Every structure is written in C-alpha cells, then in structure tokens.
A and B are shown apart, each in its own frame.
Chain A
Amino acid sequence: MRLSPDEMIFWQNGYFKLNGTIVFTWALMLVLAAGSKLVTRKLSMDLKRAYWQNLLEIIVTGIEKQIEDVGLRDPKKYIGFLGTLFLFIALASLCTVIPGFEPPTGSLSTTAALALCVLVAVPFFGIEQQGLRGYLKSYLEPTVIMLPFNIISELSRTLALAVRLFGNMMSGTMIIAILLTITPFIFPVAMSALGLLTGMVQAYIFSILAAVYIAAATRGRRPKPVSIQDIKS
C-alpha cells in the first residue's frame, strides 16, 4: 500500500527520478495551461461571450475578490501566485474522481514544496512592498523579545501548511482505499464526495492562509485595535 504517489516511480537515474507526483502534476499543469489557452484564445470583449469564458471569468474574478477581501490592496499583483495555489490544489482534489489518478497534493513533497513557496513568497512580497528594513523590523514587533517567537511562528506555520494539506489529502485517499476493501460499493462513493468537499475546503484554506500571511507581511505595522470611540465617530 502506497502512502504517497512519490513511491510510484516510472524512471530513475541516480538522484533524478520521475515519480507519480511529478507526472500527475505535469498532467494537471497541462490541463490547466491548455484549457486556459484554449478558452482565452478568442476572448470576447463584447457583452455576449462563450460559456467557458464566463466560467473562467467567474473563477478569476472570484479569486480576485477573495484576495481583496483578505486585505491586499492590489489583487492583480498577487492573483498569479495565490490563484495558482488555489486552482492547482482544487483541481488536484477534483481529479480524484478519475480512477487511477492520485492527487499530487497527497504527497508531502508537493505540499512541502508549496509551503516553501509560500515561505519564500511572504518575505518576497513583504520586502517588495515596504523594503528590507521595514520588513525585518516587523519581526521585532511588538518588542525585540518577540523576535525568536516570530521566527518560530514563521517556520511553524509553514510546516502546518504543508502537513495540514498533506494529511487531509492523504487521509482522504487512504480512507477510500481502506473502505474499498471493506464495503466496496456505496460507502466509498459517499466518502469520495466528502473527499471532494474536503479538497475544495483545503484549497481554499491553503490559499487564504497564504494570502493572510502575505497581507500581514505587506501591511507593515499591525493595525491598531479599534476603539469604541472610533466606531461611534
């Protein structure tokens, strides 16, 4: 029994190998890129447009709205990173209904890679927004004593991101696999539907958390707590 698609190795040459995680990721990348290219090949600027264009517009503008709601002022700047996170994880979860497909997000290597990307992206956007000094200063807030705790918090949340996603995706696949051996027909289907929901929720949580981290890093100083007088005024 495989815990992760990493163990599904198609080709190996020393350190380099081609496992299931990479292959399924490529498949998802192909689907996403080719589908996008296909739909956006002839976009309509008019009021009348194709169904697929409408679907993509709903998804893209929905993501943009969510990013804006989190507190990032220029959502177009972050949609490339955060939107891709969401779409990749969501499509990986969605494709679990295809027999034989194993989600690359069920591999701790993939989730760790995504969490590392977030770990790098947070200071990247933070420094870009408020400069190196301003960003590093945020680690000393509210006092210098908090510096180690802020660093630990940074690392632990990255770890949490990776493990949370991996745990949910892997458990979903594992539960279905175990249930198939016990009750082969109805119950696995229900669990599979539940797994789809869990996958969507995880995609949302992962991308929203990433957005929140980036927002916290780009905002600089934390906002002052709102007083009753402010609300009244």
Chain B
Amino acid sequence: MLIDWFTVGAQALNFLILVWLLKRFLYKPILDAVDAREERIAAQLADADAKKAEAQKQRDTFDQKNEAFDRQRAALMSQAASDAKAEGQRLLDEAGKAADALSARRREALQGDAQNLDEAIGRRIQQEVFAIARKALADLATDSLEARMVWVFITRLRAMDGKAKEDLAEALKAAPGSVLVRSAFDLPAAQHATLQTALRETFPGVAPVRFETAPELVGGIELTANGQKIAWSISDYLVSLKEGVDALLKQKVEPAPKLETKSQ
C-alpha cells in the first residue's frame, strides 16, 4: 500500500505547523519590512514632491517679484531720466535768464560808466577851456573872462527882438520878485550894476534882480524868470567840439571800408 494514513495525517499536521511557523517567522516580518520600506519611500517621495512644489512656488514668487522689481526699476529710471532732463532744461533756462540779466546789468553799468565818463570829460574840458580862455583873454586883452562874459550876455540881451523879447518881458513883469541871474562864478558889484542897468534899459520897469553862484554852469551865465530863460555858456561851444570829436572817432573806428575801396 503506497498510502499510509498515519503518515498522511502526520504530514498534514506537519504542513499546518509549517504554515504557522513560516507565517510567524518569514512572511509577516518580511512583508512588514517591505511595507515599512515602501511607506518610508512613499513618505520620502511625498516629502520630496512637497519640497519640489514649495521650491517651484518660491521660484515663481521670486520670478514675479523680480519682474515687478524690473518693471519698477525701469519706471523709476524713466522717471528719473525725464526729471533730470526737465531739471537740466530748467537750470539751463535759469542760467540763460541769469546770464541775460547779468549781461543787461553790465550793459547798463557800462552805459552808466560811459555816461559818467562823458560827463566828467565834458566838465573837465569845460573847466580847461574856461581856464585857457580866461588866461588867453587876460594875456591878450588885459580883460577878465567874467567881465567879457557879462558883456556878451548883455549884448545878446540887447540883441533880442521879436517874440522872444516880448515873451521874456512878459515873464519879467509877471514875476517881479523871482528874476534870478545865476553864474558859475561870483560876480563883482560892478558887474551886478552893469547887468541891472542893461536889463532896465532893455526891459523898462523890471524888478531888482537876485544874483546866485552856480558852479555846475562852469563858464556861463543865465537869467530865469517865470519859466523863461536866457543864457550863455561855454557848453554851447563844447557841444560843437564834442560833435567834432565824435565824428573823428567814428572815422577812426571804421577804417576798413576805406581800405577796401582803395584796393579796388
């Protein structure tokens, strides 16, 4: 008999015991270890995925911030450039205005200086001419300049005629207390009397005259009454002298055209 039923039973029991043993010592520990490892790997992968997602998120945020920063920087740069341009233009305008103002002031100052110089030169020339005339008259005619001036004044006074004489006569009558004779120098009493006499002869009934010394007249004498005035001064000569000098200077300033005409 090939089958021994006791052995069959014993082997079945042995097999069941072996199943229990292997479950206990082989399958459970091994499968538990595999599961634990798989869980751990899955956890690590999930962690890695989470970290990757987080990194991607941070990178996206960084990129967005970077872009915003670039845009902001470009806008600020553009703004700064336009501001700088506007400021530069403003400064240039201000500088131009300041330069124009300075130039105008300098021009005015130069004109003022030139005018002052002109006046100073005119005064000096008047004084010099007056001094020369006084000396020449004393040497040649043994007469004083003041006396000759009074004489010339009286001559002019007497030579007056027509409307000018009438106007002055009316003025002298209208202002009996305000007839004034001004001269650049102190007139002696004899001259006062001569003048007074000549006035009475020319304009009968004229009131007494007041005499004043006015150095700004340089070498001159004048009579004023109620807005009317008759005068003689070296200035009249000096005006023609100045015109002559100016014409001479103008000729010296513009020599080029003459040269060109010569060469042609």
The chain A residues found within 8 Å of chain B, CB to CB, are 3-4, 6, 15-17, 19, 21-22, 25-26, 29, 32-33, 36-37, 40, 43-47, 53, 56-57, 60-61, 64, 76, 79-81, 83-84, 87-88, 104, 107-110, 112-114, 116-117, 166
- A113–B8 contact, CB under 8 A? yes
User: 7 A-B pairs, CB-CB below 8 angstroms?
Assistant: A6-B7, A22-B10, A40-B25, A43-B30, A80-B19, A80-B22, A113-B15
Instruction: Give residues 1-28 of B contacting A (CB, 8 Å).
Output: 2-12, 14-19, 21-23, 25-27
- Write the nearest CB–CB distance from B41 to chain A, whole angstroms: 8
List B contacts of A45 (CB < 8 A): 33, 36-37, 40
Would B8 and A36 count as touching, CB distance under 8 A? no
Tell me which residues across on chain B come within 8 A of A19, comparing CB atoms: 4, 7
> B21, A29: Cβ atoms under 8 Å?
yes
Closest Cβ neighbor of A109 among chain B residues: B7
* CB pair B3 A108 closer than 8 Å: yes
Given A19-B4, A37-B25, A108-B3, A116-B12 contact (CB < 8 Å): yes
Known contacts A32-B22, A45-B37, A47-B37; is-contact A25 B12 (Cβ 8 Å):
no
A107-B7 contact given A29-B14, A45-B33, CB 8 Å threshold:
yes
Could you give, for residues 141-182 of chain B, a 1 whenever the CB lies within 8 Å of some chain A CB and a 0 otherwise?
Answer: 000000000000000000000000000000000000000000
Q: Which residue among A19, A84, A116, A117 has the maximum number of chain B CB atoms within 10 Å of its CB?
A: A84
Is B34 in contact with chain A by the CB < 8 A criterion?
A: yes
Ranked 5 nearest A-B pairs via Cβ: A113-B11, A109-B7, A36-B26, A40-B29, A36-B25
- Closest beta carbon of chain A to B150's beta carbon, Å: 140
- Is A40 touching B30 in the complex (CB atoms < 8 A)? yes
Q: Is B31 an interface residue (CB 8 A)?
A: yes
Q: Could you tell me the distance in whole angstroms from the C-beta of B128 to the nearest C-beta in chain A?
A: 124
When the two chains form their complex, are residues A64 and B8 in contact, meaning their CB atoms are under 8 A apart?
Answer: no
For B19, the chain A residues whose CB sits under 8 A away are: 80-81, 84
A82 to chain B minimum Cβ distance, whole angstroms, is: 10
Q: Are A110 and B7 in contact (CB under 8 A)?
A: yes
Complex CA–CA separation, A87 to B11 (angstroms)? 15
Q: Measuring CB to CB, which residues of chain B are less than 8 angstroms from any residue of chain A?
A: 2-12, 14-19, 21-23, 25-27, 29-31, 33-34, 36-37, 40
> Do A114 and B27 contact each other (CB < 8 Å), given the known contacts A33-B18, A83-B22?
no
CB distance from A28 to the nearest CB of B (A): 8
Contact flag A56-B7 (CB < 8 Å), given A29-B18, A33-B21, A113-B15: no
Query: Inside 8 A of B25's CB, which chain A residues have their CB?
Result: 33, 36-37, 40
**How many Å lie between the Cα of A29 and that of B17 in the bound state?**
9
- Are A84 and B22 closer than 8 Å at their CB atoms? yes
Q: Are B11 and A22 in contact (CB under 8 A)?
A: yes
B7 touches A44 (CB 8 A): no
Known: A29-B17, A113-B9, A117-B15. A80 touches B33 (CB 8 A): no
CA distance A25 to B31 in the complex (A): 25
On chain B, the residues within 8 Å of A117 by CB distance are: 12, 15-16
Cα separation A36 to B10 with both chains bound (whole Å): 23
**A104 lies within 8 A of B11 (CB):** yes
Give the chain A neighbours of B21 by CB distance below 8 A.
29, 32-33, 36
* Complex contact B2–A4 (CB within 8 A): yes
In the complex, what distance in Å separates the CA atom of A17 from the CA atom of B6?
A: 8
Chain A residues within an 8 Å CB radius of B7: 6, 17, 19, 21-22, 107, 109-110, 113
A40 to B26, CA, bound (A): 7
CB distance from A14 to the nearest CB of B (A): 10
Alpha-carbon distance between A145 and B21 when the two chains are bound, in angstroms: 43
Contact A79 B4 (CB under 8 A): no
Chain B neighbourhood of A114, CB < 8 A: 11-12, 15
List 11 other contacts, CB 8 Å, given A32-B21, A33-B21, A45-B40: A6-B4, A21-B7, A21-B11, A36-B26, A46-B37, A56-B26, A61-B34, A81-B19, A83-B27, A107-B11, A110-B8
Q: In the assembled complex, which residues on chain B have CB atoms less than 8 Å from the CB atom of A79?
A: 27, 31
Given contacts A60-B27, A76-B31, contact A36 B9 (CB under 8 A): no
Contacts of A80 in B (CB 8 A): 19, 22-23, 27
Are A22 and B18 within 8 A (Cβ)? no
Distance A11 CA – B227 CA, assembled complex (angstroms): 179
Complex CA distance for A13 and B163, rounded to whole angstroms: 192
